[in-house]
Amino acid sequence: MSSGEEVKIGMLGMGTVGGGVARLLERNGELLAGRTGIKLTLQRVLVRDLSRRRAVDLPPQTYTTSPDAVIRDPAISVVVELMGGIEPARTLISEALKEKKDVVTANKDLMAQHGRELLDLARRCGRNIYFEASAGGGIPLIRPLKHCLVANRIRCIIGIINGTTNYILTRMSFDDMDFQEALARAQELGFAEADPSSDIEGRDAAYKLAILAGIAFNCQVDPGELYIEGIKNVTRADIHYARELGYTIKLLAIGEEKPGGLLLRVHPALVPLAHPLASVHDEFNALFIEGDLIGEAMFYGRGAGALPTASAVVADIIDAVRSRGRGEGSPHPGKPEQKKLLPLSVLDSRFYVRFLAQDLPGVFGALATAFGDEGVSLDMIIQKRKKNGVAEIVLVTHTVSEERFQRAMEKALRLPTIRPEAAVFRVLE
Amino acid sequence: MSSGEEVKIGMLGMGTVGGGVARLLERNGELLAGRTGIKLTLQRVLVRDLSRRRAVDLPPQTYTTSPDAVIRDPAISVVVELMGGIEPARTLISEALKEKKDVVTANKDLMAQHGRELLDLARRCGRNIYFEASAGGGIPLIRPLKHCLVANRIRCIIGIINGTTNYILTRMSFDDMDFQEALARAQELGFAEADPSSDIEGRDAAYKLAILAGIAFNCQVDPGELYIEGIKNVTRADIHYARELGYTIKLLAIGEEKPGGLLLRVHPALVPLAHPLASVHDEFNALFIEGDLIGEAMFYGRGAGALPTASAVVADIIDAVRSRGRGEGSPHPGKPEQKKLLPLSVLDSRFYVRFLAQDLPGVFGALATAFGDEGVSLDMIIQKRKKNGVAEIVLVTHTVSEERFQRAMEKALRLPTIRPEAAVFRVLE
């Protein structure tokens, strides 16, 4: 790396994050050059519509509607893919690697579903692909996991990695909103999309978990195989009871290495109020990590947004330029290991259950017996009378296997005094 | 970097952290080699006493009492300094750099006081010096600040970077202990040293702040010039009042870039309970960062301990080996800027004050007038009767300049009804 080197960047896509990268280079480009000795220039930018006005003034000849003009420009050494979606991003990245460009991408869907294939291709091409922004937006996650914790055996990662659902749950918790109100508020503020289903149903978090688990546990993870449960069933009542018991409810993405393989899951969970993840509010994200050396660590910040994401993209570009100088192959030299994904039934967990029951003598006894008979012991109990002769019974179990718990639940729900609409959430230890 | 490269390490010192590095390599050395292609071997280790038994079995000829046997061994490419203190560490590191070794150190005192000199020497020698473990123990702080946030202008860093004081304040807060009890407990558990003054008085945190501010603001900071206030004056009463007002008390190390220069300070402060730093309990550390792109971010983990610190040391070694391959000079290519350290008098802050007053009519009015006359307006007030005709009055001001606040305090303390022993703490916004 020579001092004051100019590096020409090709960018595919000029949406929110692309605009963020352009603004960043305009605003902090000189600072960056002073710090790194690398001056980044946006040489060509692929757009759909040449006539559209942009927030940042680039020379008009920068824009092109031809992908080849970007990925085959010999002056360009790093291609930044910010189009999103699988195609044509996948094909264009592959072509760029074959053209001996390094690639930086913020594409979560692509890296979750085709990450390993692209990493392999990059290795074969002697180039690198960087994707820090794909999983954590602006928060440094992949680089710390890969570099700073390189000597650690990661035992588990627990993430709040979807800003939309965290914003919704925070508003439900602090402003006593119900789910629909909080969702509407998130949409107003731009924290939720018009179609929020990928966020709400946990798929977005599952994709990010697949990427992060791939790094943490050095393996390939198919996001389609994860257990996924969204936040639609979280009610204000559950949030209130959780708080009474010393917990808050968060959508967690959890990856654990167990003796037989990996257990990966996305679901809402009760988080103890003293746990660092309990203080991750609003649209913020965080990844909590347990390593055999470092113990517990957490990285916290903004998981989305134009400038935070651009911050991660540009850090990746700088890394790409520096690694190019050192002639390294892939930054992922460890061969991925084959690891089995374990079914949820092997999970040991505590459980929170809220039952609706007839307010009659003996109801609680019957319920407790149903649990006791299956060997599920109870840690905390709240029973409150609602109107119309209905009682609400909230239980938190001690640690028990998922299988055993589900058997107890079946038995409980067969009791004539217990209504079928019970709410069940797992509890983080 | 070739695959499966063996790299020979020389280590100066075999105390807690040195033992941690040896255990790490024994336990996770193969894992590390699989991930990085780099096999680390402890070639020579400088110790004071050859006859002492060690927790890890290294070949007896590894140990030496001669520094030269380590730093002049041509087979050794990276020297790890874990002796602590200024001398002989400073001289040995300088010699090692001149011998064209890269250096990794966890030496806080040395990097805080002579960091720039050693970085300059490293640059002149064409070598690098790495010091991740010197400021954050096991928590990745320096690498994320330098690499992941490279495009950001850092506005401020706020750290809980002393585990001893954080443990003491946590116990005072949660277990209602007074300072002496909590300190004794910390000493029992090994979280505080027999002579805890450097921790308690804030000097340890100031050294770490000097290192981190040097990185965040790209300048040289003399730790002797920082404003430092320890935790000895924090009482149970203040912790209770703080909680009543929605705060917890933490020892903070704060660095801010302001128009005229840097404002750096270590002092206890009231932290709003919803702030991410409020949930950093026990011996844990965290660094909260505000960057112009990333917004707010936080890194959390263990700031001390043999294995967490060894984890950071070994990550640095790997980085040193990789950078060696790429023929890079110092990892700190940006020339340090000259930045003025601003005096505390330019600070704008909110303040918490607890007065003891005679429980007479008009006392509070006189106090409020003393503040009002100086233009200090009050945000929160608690007045409680104590025994023997003494009232306790707690105020939290709106934001005001340090200077103006100090004038108001002088005036208040001159009131005949107010006792001189007031407690004053700054409040984090």
Q: What tokens does A216 get?
A: 């943490």
Residue B386: the pLDDT is 79
Residue B52: the pLDDT is 87
Residue A429: the pLDDT is 86
Residue B2: the pLDDT is 43
Task: Determine, for residues A279 and B274 on separate chains, whether the beta-carbon distance falls below 8 Å.
Answer: yes
- Gap from A344 CA to chain B (nearest CA, Å): 28
- Gap from B138 CA to chain A (nearest CA, Å): 6
**Cβ-based neighbours of B396, under 8 Å, separated by 6 or more:** B245, B270, B350, B351, B352, B353, B378, B379, B380, B381, B427
Q: What tokens does B72 get?
A: 């002049």
Q: Are B413 and B422 in contact (CB under 8 A)?
A: yes
- Tens digit of pLDDT at every position of chain B (429 positions): 445 789 999 999 999 999 999 999 999 999 999 999 999 999 999 999 998 888 788 999 999 999 999 999 999 999 999 999 999 999 999 999 999 999 999 999 999 999 999 999 999 999 999 999 999 899 999 999 998 999 999 999 999 999 999 999 999 999 999 999 999 999 999 889 899 999 999 999 999 999 999 999 999 899 999 999 999 999 999 999 999 999 999 999 999 999 999 999 999 999 999 999 999 999 999 999 999 999 999 999 999 999 999 999 999 999 999 887 654 544 455 677 889 999 999 999 999 999 999 988 888 899 999 999 999 999 999 988 877 888 999 999 999 999 999 999 999 999 999 999 999 999 998
Give the three-class secondary structure for A136. Answer: helix
Residue A56: the pLDDT is 86
Residue B67: the pLDDT is 97
Pick B298's closest partner by Cβ from A24, A148, A301.
Answer: A301
Pick A32's closest partner by Cβ from B151, B298, B310.
Answer: B151
Residue B57: the pLDDT is 85
Residue A85: the pLDDT is 95
Torsion region of B37: left, alpha or beta (phi above 0 gives left; psi -120 to 50 gives alpha)? left
Q: Are A276 and A286 in contact (CB under 8 A)?
A: yes
Whether B208 is a known active-site residue: answer yes
Rounded CA gap, B144 and B136, in Å?
Answer: 12
Q: What tokens does B101 get?
A: 């070794």
Pick A308's closest partner by Cβ from B218, B295, B327.
Answer: B295
Give the three-class secondary structure for A195. Answer: coil
Burial A185-219 (b: 16+ CB within 10 A, else e): bbeeeebbeeebebbbbbbbbbbbbbbbbbbbbbb
Residue A325: the pLDDT is 61
Rounded CA gap, B111 and B127, in Å?
Answer: 16
Give the three-class secondary structure for B294. Answer: coil
Instruction: With beta carbons under 8 A apart, name residues in chain A contacting B300.
Output: 276, 297-300
Task: Determine, for residues A151 and B300 on separate chains, whether the beta-carbon distance falls below 8 Å.
Answer: no
Selected for mutation to probe chain B from A28, A40, A147, A148 (highest B CB count within 10 Å) is A148
Searching chain A, which residue's CA lies closest to the CA of residue B308? A294
Over A222-259, what HEC string results?
CHHHCEECCCCCCCHHHHHHHHHCCEEEEEEEEEEEEC
What is the value of pTM for the model shown? 0.95
Rounded CA gap, B349 and B429, in Å?
Answer: 8
Rounded CA gap, A276 and A297, in Å?
Answer: 9
* ipTM exceeding the 0.90 mark: yes
**Cβ-based neighbours of B384, under 8 Å, separated by 6 or more:** B391, B392
Report mean pLDDT in 10-residue bins for chain A, 429 residues.
78 96 96 93 95 87 96 97 97 98 97 94 94 93 92 97 97 95 94 93 97 94 94 96 97 96 97 95 96 97 94 96 65 72 94 93 91 94 85 95 95 94 95
Selected for mutation to probe chain A from B294, B299, B323 (highest A CB count within 10 Å) is B294
Q: What tokens does B180 get?
A: 């002496």
Give the three-class secondary structure for A206. Answer: helix
Q: Are A175 and A230 in contact (CB under 8 A)?
A: no
Could you give all domains of chain A from N- to C-terminal order, each with its CATH number? 5-138+306-326 (3.40.50.720), 142-301 (3.30.360.10), 347-427 (3.30.70.260)
Residues of A identified as active-site: 208
- Gap from B359 CA to chain A (nearest CA, Å): 38
Pick A314's closest partner by Cβ from B132, B151, B314.
Answer: B151
Query: DSSP label at B310?
Result: H
